[in-house]
Structure formats: C-alpha cells, structure tokens
Structure 1
C-alpha cells in the first residue's frame, strides 16, 4: 500500500515509523503547510507537497493518513474519498456529528475505506483485559477509564490543541475519543448520563468527568485530565459482581515516554490494511464516538450553566497600576485554587502569554492594580474576571508568588494586556470574580 501522510505535526512521526516498519507499506508522499517539516523527507526522495489537493492529484497514493488539526479532518478526508483514496484519520474523525456523517456517507457512496485511528484499542494490556472479562457483560458492575496527562508534554509545537476553534474543545475531544473507544471495546455501545467540565481556560476544558451506561446496563466512568503537573495515567479498571477487580495499565512495561505507541500504531496500520483489503467502506466506531463527544459537551455545558459551586465574589480597587512589561519574569505556581479571606488585598495582572503548567514563565504582563476582597472566597483557575459594567477581562490562569506572603499576583489570561487605564478603572471600582467551570482543579 502506498501511503501519503497529510500533516507532519506531533502525531505524524508515529505513523511514519509504523509505515517504515511494515514491509507491506511504502511512504510515497508527505504534505504540510510548512516546507521545513517536509524537507527532511524530500531530501530522502519522498515527494513533498504544501497543498493536499496537489498530493491527491499526483496519483501516487493508495491511501492517506490525516494528522491535521481536528477542524480540517472532514474537508481533506472527503476530498480523498471522492478521489477513491482510502483514508486513515486521526481521532476524532471530525468535530461535529454532521461532518462525521458526511465523511461516512462519502465513503459508502464511493466504496472507499474510511478508518479512525484509535490507537489505544491495539494496546496489548487492553486486549488482555478484554479477553479476561466474562462473556456475560452483566457480571461487570462498573468500568472506570482514566486518561490523565500534562497536555504540554504531548503536543510539541502544535499549539492548535489549545485553540478551541481548531481543536473543538479540550481534553474531552482530544483524549475523550480514545477513552470512549476503549470503553466501547470492552462493554459495547454507550450513552451519556452525566458530565462535569472544569478548569476551563480560554474556552477549553482541562478536566472532564463522564458518566455513561452501556447497552447492557454497565455503568462506565471516564475521567480525563490535561492538567497533571507531570507524567501520565492511562488505565482501565473493571469491577465484577463476584468482587474481582481487573485492571489494564496502558503504560505498564513501557518505560520510555510514548514507547507504548509503537505497537499500537503498528496495530492501526494492520487493521486499516485489512479493512481496505476486505473492501469495507465506512467502518469502526468513528462516527459513533464523535456523537458521544458531542452529546457529552451538550450535557456538560448545560450542567455548567445550571449548577454553580460558588457565588460571584466582589472586590474593590484600592491601588491602580498603569504599566505593561514584556519581560516580567513571573512564574506560574503549582496551585489551581487559593482560599482568600475577606479583607485581603491581592494584585491583578493580565497576560497574553498562555501559561499552563507550574513553572511556566510569564513575561507579557499588563497591570490593573490591587483589589480588596469584600467576601471570603476561593479563587480558581478558570474563574472569569469582569468589570462592573460586565466587560470580561479574562480568566484566571493561576498565581505568581514572588511577593508572597505579602500578596499573590493573580494572573489573568486575556486577549490583550489590560491596565487600569485601558479598563477605565478608578479607585473603589468593582472587579468581580465568577466561576468559569463546574469542576476546579485542586
């Protein structure tokens, strides 16, 4: 099979290495908007393109592997399918169910294989757990899937993961499809019963907890977290009616970072080739998982709108600041929440940087000033900060402790550097903190 790889970001190397390992596969084209990414492969003789349409028109591929930002999957996959080129698409298949269905309908109409790359279903420990589970799924009393990591350790230079428009959300649409597919592989079809989204920053959630139920009535919990300080936890626990507890740790025995992916991506290509050889068009759970993620967002956002865990907290300006800095050198602390008694005074700073993990440096800063908290509260990452007239300054990114114990710098992520001047603030003006998500990182 002659493969073209479209998109050479953080995921592409795992596919490229799998193609190289497989004697039945050949890399015949690569495509990326950035010629610097394609150049090393071009130097080895692989045809390189900056436009996927030119790659398809060249007629050098039997199949393409799509590892683009999520919002581009549908456009590129449909174009390939229309040309009779089989498609192996990174998860999620699409951001919306409507796009996923269009992709599947195109595959069915053209008789061309459309395949979603859920790599964890090929993990040897998950396969072992599936084989160990009782055939009578009613004997499973609970299934828990955990998929937790520090997202910044995984994305390399692909900042689109942190862009709600291009990614489609946060941990739920990124890690969620793998976790949901793992559960589906063990207990079958699922439906959403409850969702909590939290630690929301610039419109993307870093925490999600999903409750689901299988068609056979098995309760399923999926726990997702993008905000671990370091490391990762990817496992499944199955509790049985007789008291037995079975567990599959996806990372067990794989000591190097991402080393478990080698055998998983080999599994993707082997399964994909078998689907193409069998002449199957749209196949697998790709469309179904997109629907589950879409349902989960709908439930989670509705819950977030109805249920609040704290009241908005008023503060008043007691000292205004008017300057900005592009080399402030603040450092994001490890804390996602801080308890603040009534009467305490803390400094508000805005930033256009995107600090995510403890220790991240914060240089681009605009200073609003010092506020006195009128009521005791808990300020949390993801809280919205608004002026008295309702204008949104931004969301709390975390805290800098360079002046503690005198005061915290409350770091507010924003689309511009606000100061007391640009905000039109006067002494005693109100600034209000309000909950931005239903779940806060501790």
Structure 2
C-alpha cells in the first residue's frame, strides 16, 4: 500500500507513542500536527510538517487523509465529527466519547461519509495478551477471568492535568483505565454485559478506584475488572484466567518491559497497523469502541446510585463518640431480635441506645438474630449518624462492625447490632461506666 497522509491532533502525554509508531511504519506519512502549545509545534515545523493551533484549520488544509486524535475526552466527539464530515479517517485514543449518544451519532456519520472510525485500545495488541488468547480453551472450560489495572495516575499523566478534572475526563479510573481493561476482556472473551459496579476513593469528584463485575455473553464466564489510580509506586497490568479443571493461565502485560511505559511501543504500532487495514477495507470500521463506551456509561450509572464509597481518601463523616452509662453482663441464644430495614440511624444529642454484639451476620430485613451478647447502654452528648459498616471501637480499639439495628424497644431506644466474632459482654471488654465508645466510618469496604 502507498503511504497515507496522517495528522496528529493533540500533542499531550499519549501523542509520543503514536508519533514513534508513525515513524516506524512506511504506511504512514506524518504531514500535520495540531496543538494549542506553540512550543510543542516548533520542532515539527523545522522538519517541514504542517503545524496548526486549530483542528478545523488542520482538517481544511487538504494535507491529511487520516488523523489521530489524542485530546481530552470531552473534545473527542466534536473533533471526530468534524473530521468524519470532511471524509477524513479517524483513529481516536480511547474512550471514543464520554457519552454513548455521541458515539452512536458518530457511527451514523461514519457510515454516511464512508470515513473509518477507529478507537485505539492499545492493550489488545500487547504480545502477552495475544499469546494468552491463543492459549484459551472454549468458554465452557473457563471458571473466571480477573483483570487488574493498577497505577499511580500522577506518574502517567505528565503535564495533562485534565485527567483529574471530571468535567474534561468524564470521571476517573473507570473511564480512563476502564476502556483498556474492558476491551482486553472483550478481545479475549467476546461481548460483555455489566452485572455490577462500585467506585470509591473519590478525590474532587474523580474516582481513583473501581470494581466492575461482568459476564461474557458467550458462555457466561464471570469477569472482574479491578481499577486503581492510587498505587503507591510502580504499576500492575495483568490478566488471570482460572480454568474449571483448576488450571491457571495468565498474561502480565508489562513482563519483559522494564522501562516505564516501554510496553507501549509495540502496542501503538499494532494500533496503526490495524487502523491502516480498516481504512483499506473501506467504509466505517465495525469495532469503533462504542460497545466499551456503553459499558463505561452503564458502570457509572450503576456505581453512582450506591451510597457507599470504598477506600475514601477523606471520610464522609467524622468519628461519632459516646460513653457507657449502663453496663450489661449477660448473653442469650434465643433473643429473637430482627434486622430493621434501615441502613443508618440518626442519633440526637442526649440520646441513649443499647449496644449488642453477635457473631451472626444478618443481611435481609426481618432476619432473626438470636445469639447475642449485651454490652449495655451508651449516651451521646452530640448528634450524629451510625451506619451499617461502621467500625465499633472501645477506647480506640476496633471491636466489631455495625451490621444493623433492631427496633423492638422503639421509640424508647434502638439496639445497635455489632458483629464481633463472638457474644461479647461488658465483662469481656472490661467496660466501666464512662468508658468511651466510638463509631468510625469504614473506608475499606468490600464492593457491594
């Protein structure tokens, strides 16, 4: 094939990997670049590459047949549409768009104009992932798949601070790392459906942590995607496939690539090879990334409905303290308490409530709790909130976790049910009248 004229729109932290791949591939001829930072353009101008500070100007220059777009996520849709309308083929860094409605509109434009629409998911070109795909048995032999995508985001974004701006990025780890991890699973197993999603460790509205639970459409293989932007150092990018016969297959995407981001070179070359092939096939490219946009959008819709946010950098409430005013020393195996439907209870200033321990773990409203130990009654001088999942502490030591409430004595008081591993009473904990007790938010919750 003769070389095609290529432009690169956006010269941020990802662009160098595309530029390196272009230089190594005779199928492409870099003819134009675009960025608002004129200092970044100077070196290209010296090489005779057309330089622009406006993407419309680049697209109207008549010097490109195709473009690579490496802009902040919120700019993808308008720039892609402008290129497709001019019948310029598009390779866009993931995600294709923030909103699924935009992705579907761009699909229609691509079909109407015949310009290729292609999303760059670089991990599907990783040699270890491709080797793993060759080793996989049929879905009927696979028990589960787990993908980990962990890193320290500040090490990866360079000067591109828009990653930490929810209005520009569209979110955090789920929309940034999520697409590569989800596409890797889709590359291995085919189409996926989302079953659950949890996000946490929010910082200025951006989630640094995500847990996605999916299932493959073909064969129903369960898939877990773990995302983390807050790794203290280094990075982990791998896939583990557990087989029903007890065997394990895996792919460490970074194995053999010791330098930071060194695995990306061969992956981005793979992107450009596939993009060139999709253009040569003519018409709109069939796998444009919209399926991943749909999964990411659904993950946010699911996760943002949940009240709990695991692994929070900053708690949503401070410690809530009281003091023991009446001690109790007995336990029972037939108490007949029942879990109330409420996940939290407000405590007014001056209120007194009963503290009860159990090694049972009730979960359903109305579930019976028989085996309990009684600690006694605590008074609260300040108002506050006690929630399921709170850690219960005595003199600063964690004793158990709040599993809910029983209201058999309401409205006089309610019983706070505390899972403690055994039926503890005031005797075992050495409580005295005046002992300080405390409820603390648990920020290390498991995904619900």
Please, what TM-score do these two structures have when normalized by structure 1?
A: 0.71
Find the partner of 1:233 among 232, 236, 245.
Answer: 236
Deviations 1:395-415 (A, max 9, x none): xxxxxxxxxxxxxxxxxxxxx
For residue 313 of structure 1, what is the aligned residue in structure 2?
Answer: 318
Q: Distance in 2 between matches of 1:246 and 1:84?
A: 43
For 2:304, the equivalent position in structure 1 comes to 301
Paired residues for 1:324-403 under 5 Å:
none
Select which of 94, 99, 103 maps to 2:97: 94
Which residue of structure 1 aligns with residue 216 of structure 2?
214
Q: From 44, 52, 55, give the equivalent of 2:55.
A: 52
Q: Within 5 Å, give how 1:239-250 maps onto structure 2.
A: 239-250=242-253
Deviations 1:271-296 (A, max 9, x none): 00000001030421500000000000
Alignment of 1:23-422 (within 5 A): 23-134=26-137, 136-215=138-217, 216-284=219-287, 286-304=289-307, 312-313=317-318
- Contact preservation (8 Å) 2:117, 2:288: no
Counterpart of 1:9 (choices 12, 29, 40) is 12
Q: How far, CA to CA, are the matches of 2:142 and 2:64 in structure 1?
A: 44
Change (3 A) 1:262 1:308: closer
User: Shift of residue 161 of structure 1?
Assistant: 0.3
Contact 1:146/1:223 (8 A) holds in 2: yes
Cα separation, 2, equivalents of 1:226 and 1:307: 14
Give the direction of change, closer, same or farther, for the CA distance of 1:89–1:311 in structure 2 (3 Å limit).
closer
Give how far 1:311 is off: 8.0
Deviation at 1:86, TM superposition (A): 0.1
Aligned residues of 1:181 and 1:285 also touching (Cα < 8 A): no
2:396 matched to which residue of 1? none
The answer (yes or no) to whether the contact 1:198–1:207 under 8 Å persists in 2 is yes
Work out the CA distance in 2 between the residues paired with 1:155 and 1:49: 23
* C-alpha distance in structure 1 between counterparts of 2:309 and 2:27, whole Å: 54
CA contact (8 A) 2:311 2:445 kept: no
Note if contact 1:9-1:158 (Cα within 8 Å) is conserved in structure 2: yes
The answer to which of 302-311 and 266-275 deviates more is: 302-311
**Change in 2 beyond 3 A, CA 1:236/1:307:** closer
Q: Distance in 1 between matches of 2:444 and 2:305?
A: 10
SS at match of 2:209: strand
* CA-based RMSD: 2.7
Q: Deviation string for 1:222-265 (max 9, x for gaps)? A: 00000001100000000111111000000001111111001100
SS at match of 2:306: helix
Give, in angstroms, the shift of residue 440 of structure 1. 9.0
C-alpha distance in structure 2 between counterparts of 1:152 and 1:5, whole Å:
24
CA contact (8 A) 1:93 1:100 kept: yes
Cα deviation, 1:340-374, whole Å, max 9, x if unaligned, reads xxxxxxxxxxxxxxxxxxxxxxxxxxxxxxxx999
Name the CA distance, whole Å, in 2 between partners of 1:269 and 1:198. 35
Task: Rate the CA distance shift 1:439–1:117 in 2: closer, same or farther, 3 A.
Answer: farther
Q: Secondary structure at the residue paired with 1:175?
A: helix
Deviations along 1:149-171, one digit per CA (max 9) or x if unpaired, are 00011010000000000000000
Per-residue CA deviations over 1:152-203 (Å, capped at 9, x if unaligned) read 1101000000000000000000000000000001111111111110000111
Residue pair 1:92, 1:116 contacting (<8 A) in 2 also: yes
C-alpha deviations, 1:63-96, integer Å up to 9, x for none?
0000000000010001000001000000000000
Number of residue-to-residue matches in the alignment = 331
> For the structure 1 residues 373 and 14, does the alpha-carbon distance in structure 2 shift closer, same or farther, using more than 3 Å as the test?
farther
| Other structure's SS at 1:304 match | coil
Deviation at residue 102 of structure 1 after TM alignment: 1.1
Alignment of 1:421-436 (within 5 A): none
The 1-side partners of 2:139 and 2:293 are apart by 24
How many angstroms apart in 2 are the aligned matches of 1:20 and 1:217? 42
In the alignment, is residue 20 of structure 1 matched against residue 23 of structure 2? yes
Give secondary structure in 1 for the equivalent of 2:87.
Answer: coil
Q: Matched residues in 1 for 2:311 and 2:176: separation?
A: 25
SS in 1 for 2:151: strand
Deviation at 1:44, TM superposition (A): 1.5
- Cα distance change on mapping 1:164 and 1:439 into 2, 3 Å: farther
